[in-house]
Structure 1
Amino acid sequence: MTIFNQIIEAQELLGKNREQARSPEEKELLHLAIDALWFIWRNGQSYEFESYRKEVKSTAPEGVIASFSTRGEAEAWLAAQPAPPDLALVLIADEYHVVLSSRDRSRRSLVPDPELEYHIEEMTKDGLPPAVAAFNTRDEANAWFNNQAEPPTQTIIQIGGEHYLAVYYRNINHRAMFPFSIVERLHARRKRREQKGSGE
């Protein structure tokens, strides 16, 4: 079944449930869901929505809409957006940032986001997962990763004995490698909060 047929069937189901809704609030929420599907359809984003749903079902890290080498590049891009993508994720020097913008679009900012730290923490909650490949240097790993025409969304590798997550962002054709050690930043923040909470 195509994404277009799925959207139509979902709207029909939501419409039936809306007719049987018990309260005005419930009716409005169902109407909101119907409108959201129309928004996707009418703005030509059905295929993007289909890709998003596949991504959500996978165990890969959260997707991003753009990648930049420097913060300056990212800020120039954000300033040039007539309608900034509020709450979307981007990579700056392969670090996650969330785009924040006010409704009137007068204020825009890029804030570091711990998405990947949480993702790696979840992956390692039962110990280190096995690596599919091992390399002595980052250059060797980059050569291996870049020579793959269609790499998996995520692959666990080792570089110099350390675990890395190699991620392929298909929508922007970007490859990035994240050391598992970044989860230590998350642990350090939690420890600081605990110490602050205990008054130390």
Structure 2
Amino acid sequence: MEFGKLFYEALNLLGSIHENTQSPEEKELLLAAAEALRFINTTGQQYDFEDYRQELRTDGPEMVIAAFSTREEAEVWLKNHPKPPHMAQVLIADEYHVVGYARDINLRRLLRTPSVEYHLEEMMHDGLPPAVATFNTREEAKAWFYNLPERPSQAVIQLGGEHYLAAYHRNIDHLAFHPFSLVERLKEWRKKKEEEEKEVKESKPQS
């Protein structure tokens, strides 16, 4: 459904539910949802919203709005950004980071987030998925991917003897490579967190 029709039908539905809702809290939530749709429409972000909805239907990892080769490049971009996109995700050397922005004090930060680790872990639920192609270098893998008749949102490949997820971010035309070994780092992080929580629990005085 194209955005114009979706916009008006969604607003009508929210308005109908709003009229029949007694809870002030629920009325406020419904109003916020309607205002979010109006914001998209009045700021001219209809096509961006359509692209986002299309991206949600793919099998690939979470959407990013930019990709940088180094952290220095990302820091310069964030420092000079007139309106930092708070909570949006970007890639730095193909690692996921979330943009943190406190408008009142102009605090700008890039925080590492395990978004792709969770995605890879889910893909490995039934074991390591088979690779569809094998390459020695990223350049070879990128040339193969960009020459496909239709670029998929993701493909499992073997690169230098290791399994990788090649993830294509269509909105910024960027191909990222994520090693499945990142899942081990996620397991180590969880283990460390459990140990820290256990130490805190044991250090508390018994009542």
* Same fold (TM > 0.5): yes
For structure 2, the 5+ residue unaligned runs are 203-207
For 1:78 and 1:55, locate their aligned partners in 2 and report how far apart those are by CA, in whole Å: 24
Asked if 1 retains the 8 angstrom alpha-carbon contact of 2:164 and 2:178, the reply is yes
Normalising by structure 1, what TM-score?
Answer: 0.93
Asked if 1 retains the 8 angstrom alpha-carbon contact of 2:142 and 2:175, the reply is no
Structure 1 runs of 4+ aligned residues shifted over 4 Å read none
For 1:162 and 1:96, locate their aligned partners in 2 and report how far apart those are by CA, in whole Å: 20
Alignment RMSD = 1.7
Question: What is the CA-CA distance between 1:182 and the residue it aligns to?
Answer: 1.1
For 2:90 and 2:68, locate their aligned partners in 1 and report how far apart those are by CA, in whole Å: 8
Asked if 2 retains the 8 angstrom alpha-carbon contact of 1:154 and 1:165, the reply is yes
The corresponding residue for 2:205 is none
Normalising by structure 2, what TM-score?
Answer: 0.90
Moved more, 175-184 or 138-147: 138-147
For 2:26 and 2:189, locate their aligned partners in 1 and report how far apart those are by CA, in whole Å: 39
Question: What is the CA-CA distance between 1:105 and the residue it aligns to?
Answer: 5.4
Question: What is the CA-CA distance between 1:103 and the residue it aligns to?
Answer: 2.7
- Can you list the C-alpha shifts for 1:120-157, whole angstroms capped at 9, x where unaligned? 00110111122221224434323212434641111111
The corresponding residue for 1:122 is 122
The corresponding residue for 2:28 is 28
For structure 1, the 5+ residue unaligned runs are none
Name the % identity. Answer: 57
Measured at CA, do residues 76 and 149 of structure 1 come closer, stay the same or move farther in structure 2, by a change above 3 Å?
farther
The corresponding residue for 1:195 is 195
Q: 1:71-90 alignment to 2 at 5 Å?
A: 71-90=71-90
Q: 1:112-191 alignment to 2 at 5 Å?
A: 112-148=112-148, 150-191=150-191
For 1:68 and 1:46, locate their aligned partners in 2 and report how far apart those are by CA, in whole Å: 26
- Are residue 18 (structure 1) and residue 18 (structure 2) matched? yes
Question: What is the CA-CA distance between 1:18 and the residue it aligns to?
Answer: 0.7
For 1:152 and 1:87, locate their aligned partners in 2 and report how far apart those are by CA, in whole Å: 26
For 1:80 and 1:151, locate their aligned partners in 2 and report how far apart those are by CA, in whole Å: 33
Asked if 2 retains the 8 angstrom alpha-carbon contact of 1:83 and 1:105, the reply is no
Measured at CA, do residues 105 and 152 of structure 1 come closer, stay the same or move farther in structure 2, by a change above 3 Å?
farther
Q: Which amino acid aligns with 1:35?
A: E
Q: Which amino acid aligns with 2:198?
A: S
